[in-house]
């Protein structure tokens, strides 16, 4: 590949050369490492570090179920196509497994070496059952007898009983048994650690206590009492193990008569996909391990020998223990009221006065819920249309939609059944909404509906008015407290027309003849993004201001990245804020030396997609539900929307600008693709900037000013 620094002549550079790209799986692992680094970071409160460690474990589970499984499928199918970085599926899998082994070692190093001792210092021990006092032992045995034993289903394996199916992600205890009397020979038995019971049990304080609280893990309680399950056997050895299975759903929608039924069927299958990971306790007996691994059909490099408790997601339960509030993060402000909605004005009146842009979770998501709730009871509202991708349990939005239907409104809800790992949840909501009289639609065959849009049609004095909410995040009031997103309220007719057209399209009607403001995937969005990048390229060529700032979760679309490389080589300054996967390499001379990539991993999950294009001297701002990934741009229904109001554009600029200045939670990509954490110089002059904290504080002070302004004070007249 020939590279040249002559930015006016970049024809000789092949921007699609695979050496310029990072494999997406390795890039994802790099993201999980950044999360892990938060667990390692001493500046974080101890319990937050536990939470970050738990998140890495849960992330890794999903990664295996979907991504590793997919690589295995490719290998099994003899798929020969190279990935973006020029790797075969086998090469990718080998690299991933090596990286994951290192990653898991690091997880347990942090767990054992740093977090556990600190936890003991702070008065909490995750005890091994062998360390319990007699009295404590008796307590756990009693707990076993009363609560655990009745829900256990031990299963022995012999010639007449085959090896049982081990369900995905479940924790199990395997054991080798020998009959107390009678013939020789060893039997294998397994018992699933029941997920209906809490994974951790706190031992009540005793007299001899030194103030140290102790918790034990359920699998250890079972192991300690294993003999009660196999009365006529001697337990030769036992140890916990956990299997991860292929869970990637691939539904043949063309053949599925009823999508709902098909997904229900697939959900059942998910538990029984091919095993792709086996986690075992480090001290598991070799014979026992051989037996289990052979039966599950896992290779040696798929076996993870764990130095500690399996499945660290239990640390989220530890995080929720009472009385450790002082070890958690409290410097981040809770969601604040949105200034625009602070007065006595009706929500529709406020939107009529001008567009409103909200930045969650710093500003509360409550107004979005209220918007739907108000529409449900407003006598002038004729119709409500909304897309639902992932909703929370007991979602107030669902309740409001059902109420609206009950009040005689036309309610159309697009429930995306295929939202991964949320399918069961979605089916429940879909059925409930249908029952309430809503018109439930399930989107377009072959495409996931990922855009977040709500349309309220209202009959007003001067005619029909349409109110639209567009967002980068899901209509989930629960995750809206954890994810950073932006949402726009508008009643501009051009947006209203487009929103109407979006729902018509999702209902299966023909696409509109043209769009006013929105760009939609999979038909138009990718080209729009490429055009916007190319336009900056043209500006750069003409010597005009040319800059792109793009904030998203992931970027791995080759065509888009190649266009960014081309723009960079022409002199366009590009700053990417990418939380997760990034297949682009920053800082390669002649290719991406004008590109910077930073990843912010903080208290909140960075989730908003905001794009800035300098466009000479007429900058444009956009927000979107889509990342720059093939799945978003080519296989999903996504929306890109412009933000045109000057004040709101300033707000978006401030978000981008502050994140570019973040030096506390930002990791910067080096030309080799590795991320290093931004370092603040120790001279004391450089100010520490944590963008998430700043946004929270700003929202709080804006809310405070608003409260002060709204407080009515009667001043008593002074007697002269």
Partner 1 sequence: MTGEVFAAIDVGSYEMALKIFELSQKKGVRELDHVRHRMDLGTETYATGRISSFHVEEMIRILKDFRNIMEGYGVTHYQAYGTSAMRETRDIVVVQDLIEQSTGIHIDILSNSEQRFLDYKSIALKQDQFEEIIRRPTAIVDIGGGSIQISLFEKDALVATQNLTTGVLRIHTTMEEVHATKLKYRDLVSELVNSQLSVFSKIHLKDRKIENIIIIDDYVSPIIQKQRMGTDREGYATRQEFLKFLEKASVTSAIEVAKKLNIPEDNVPMLYVSGTVIKCFLDETKADNLWAPGITLCDGIAYEYAEKKNFISSPHDFEQDIIACAQNISKRFMGSKSRRETLQKIALTVFDSTADLHGLTQRDRLLLQIATILHDCGKYISLVYLGDCSYNIIMSTEIIGLSHREREIVANVVRFNHEEFEYYTANSKFFEGFTREDYLRVAKLTAILRIANGLDRTHKQKFKDVTVTVKDRELEIFVDTNADITLEKGLFGNRASFFEEVFGIRPVIRQKRII
Which residues of the shown chain bind partner 1 in the complex (CB under 8 A)? 382-383, 410, 412, 439, 457, 459-464, 500-501, 504, 507-514, 523-524
How many other CB atoms are found less than 10 A from the CB of residue 451? 27
Residue 250 · residue 319 · CB < 8 Å: no
Closer of 458 and 607 to partner 1 (Cβ): 458
Closer of 263 and 383 to partner 1 (Cβ): 383
Please, what is the minimum distance in Å from the beta carbon of residue 348 to partner 1? 15
Please, what is the minimum distance in Å from the beta carbon of residue 458 to partner 1? 10
Query: Considering only CA atoms, which of 373, 441, 427 is closest in space to residue 401?
Result: 373
3-state secondary structure string across 624-693:
ECCCECHHHHHCEEEEEEEECCHHHHHHHHHHHHHHHHCCCCEEEECCCCCEEECCCCCCCCCCCCCHHH
Closer of 184 and 462 to partner 1 (Cβ): 462
Closer of 230 and 495 to partner 1 (Cβ): 495
Closer of 525 and 549 to partner 1 (Cβ): 525
**Phi/psi of residue 25, nearest 5 degrees:** -70, -40
Rounded Cα–Cα distance for residues 97 and 106 (Å): 14
Residue-wise burial string across 542-571, b where 16 or more C-beta atoms lie within 10 A, e elsewhere:
eeeebbbbbbbbbbbbbbbbbbbbbbbbbb
Rounded Cα–Cα distance for residues 265 and 563 (Å): 42
Name the β-bridge partners of 533: none
Structure tokens at 684: 């004391």
Tell me how far apart the terminal alpha carbons of the chain are, to the nearest angstrom: 90
Measure CA 699 to chain center.
24
Residue-wise burial string across 580-606, b where 16 or more C-beta atoms lie within 10 A, e elsewhere:
bbbbbbbbbebbbbbbbbbbbbbbbbb
Closer of 120 and 523 to partner 1 (Cβ): 523
Please, what is the minimum distance in Å from the beta carbon of residue 527 to partner 1? 9
Closer of 149 and 509 to partner 1 (Cβ): 509
Please, what is the minimum distance in Å from the beta carbon of residue 640 to partner 1? 15
Closer of 464 and 705 to partner 1 (Cβ): 464
Rounded Cα–Cα distance for residues 561 and 550 (Å): 12
Pick the catalytic residue from 360, 450, 469, 607.
450
Please, what is the minimum distance in Å from the beta carbon of residue 446 to partner 1? 15
Rg (the chain; Cα; Å): 28
Please, what is the minimum distance in Å from the beta carbon of residue 263 to partner 1? 23
Please, what is the minimum distance in Å from the beta carbon of residue 443 to partner 1? 16
Q: Residues near 490 by Cβ (< 8 Å), separated by ≥ 6? A: 351, 355, 356, 467, 468, 470
Please, what is the minimum distance in Å from the beta carbon of residue 411 to partner 1? 9
> Does the annotation count 450 as an active-site position?
yes
Q: Residues near 83 by Cβ (< 8 Å), separated by ≥ 6? A: 23, 24, 89, 92
- Catalytic (active-site) positions: 450
């Amino acid at each position: 590949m020939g590279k040249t620094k002559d930015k006016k002549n970049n024809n000789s550079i092949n921007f699609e050369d695979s050496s310029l790209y990072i494999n997406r799986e390795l890039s994802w692992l790099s993201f999980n490492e950044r999360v892990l680094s938060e667990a390692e970071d001493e500046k974080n409160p101890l319990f937050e570090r536990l939470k970050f460690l738990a998140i890495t474990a849960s992330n890794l589970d999903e990664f295996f179920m979907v991504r590793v499984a997919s690589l295995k499928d490719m290998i099994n199918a003899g798929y020969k196509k190279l990935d973006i970085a020029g790797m075969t599926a086998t090469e990718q899998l080998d690299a991933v497994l090596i990286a994951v082994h290192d990653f898991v070692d690091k997880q347990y190093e942090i767990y054992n070496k740093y977090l556990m001792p600190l936890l003991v210092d702070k008065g909490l021990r995750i005890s091994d059952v062998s360390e319990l006092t007699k009295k404590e032992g008796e307590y756990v045995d009693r707990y076993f007898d009363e609560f655990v034993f009745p829900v256990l289903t031990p299963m022995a394996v012999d010639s007449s009983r085959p090896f049982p199916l081990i369900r995905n992600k479940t924790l199990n205890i395997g054991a080798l048994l020998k009959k107390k009397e009678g013939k020789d020979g060893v039997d294998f038995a397994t018992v699933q650690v029941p997920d209906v019971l809490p994974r951790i049990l706190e031992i009540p304080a005793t007299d001899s206590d030194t103030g140290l609280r102790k918790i034990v893990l359920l699998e250890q309680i079972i192991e300690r009492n294993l003999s009660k399950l196999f009365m006529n056997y001697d337990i030769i050895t036992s140890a916990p193990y956990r299997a991860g299975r292929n869970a990637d759903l691939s539904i043949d929608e063309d053949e599925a008569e009823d999508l709902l039924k098909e997904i229900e069927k697939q959900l059942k299958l998910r538990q029984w996909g091919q095993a792709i990971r086996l986690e075992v306790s480090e001290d598991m007996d070799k014979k026992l391990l051989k037996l289990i691994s052979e039966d599950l059909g896992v290779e040696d490099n798929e076996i993870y020998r764990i130095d500690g408790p399996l499945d660290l997601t239990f640390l989220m339960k530890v995080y929720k223990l009472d009385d450790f509030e002082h070890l958690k993060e409290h410097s981040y402000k809770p969601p604040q009221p949105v200034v625009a909605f602070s007065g006595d004005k009706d929500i529709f009146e406020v939107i009529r006065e001008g567009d409103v842009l909200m930045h969650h979770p710093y500003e509360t998501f409550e107004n979005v819920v209220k918007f739907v709730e108000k529409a449900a009871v407003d006598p002038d509202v004729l119709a409500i249309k909304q897309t639902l991708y992932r909703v929370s349990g007991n979602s107030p939005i669902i309740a409001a939609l059902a109420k609206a239907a009950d009040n005689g409104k036309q309610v159309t809800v697009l429930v995306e059944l295929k939202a991964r790992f949320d399918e069961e949840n979605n089916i429940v909501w879909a059925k409930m909404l249908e029952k309430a009289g809503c018109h439930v639609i399930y989107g377009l065959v072959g495409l996931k509906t990922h855009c977040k849009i709500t349309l309220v049609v209202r009959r007003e004095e001067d005619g029909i008015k349409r109110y639209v909410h567009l967002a980068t995040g899901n209509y989930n009031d629960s995750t809206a407290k954890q994810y950073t997103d932006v949402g726009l309220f508008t009643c501009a007719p051009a947006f209203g027309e487009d929103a109407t057209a979006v729902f018509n399209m999702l209902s299966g009607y023909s696409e509109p003849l043209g769009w006013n403001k929105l760009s939609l995937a999979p038909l138009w969005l990718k080209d729009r993004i490429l055009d916007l990048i190319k336009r900056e390229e043209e500006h750069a060529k003409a010597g005009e201001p040319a800059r792109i700032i793009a904030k998203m979760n992931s970027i791995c679309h080759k065509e888009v990245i190649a266009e960014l490389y081309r723009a960079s080589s022409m002199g366009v300054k590009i700053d990417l804020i990418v939380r997760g996967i990034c297949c682009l390499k920053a800082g390669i001379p002649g290719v991406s030396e004008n590109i910077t990539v930073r990843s912010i991993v903080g208290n909140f999950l960075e989730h908003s997609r905001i794009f800035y294009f300098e466009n000479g001297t007429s900058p444009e701002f956009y927000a979107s539900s889509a990342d720059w990934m093939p799945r978003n741009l080519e296989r999903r229904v996504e929306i890109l929307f412009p933000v045109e109001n000057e004040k709101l554009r300033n707000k978006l600029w401030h978000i981008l600008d502050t994140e570019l200045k973040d030096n506390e939670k930002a990791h910067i990509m080096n030309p080799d693709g590795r991320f290093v954490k931004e370092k603040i110089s120790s001279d004391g002059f450089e100010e520490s900037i944590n963008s998430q904290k700043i946004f929270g504080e700003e929202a709080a002070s804006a809310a405070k000013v608003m409260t002060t302004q709204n407080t009515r004070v009667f001043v008593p007249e002074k007697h002269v």
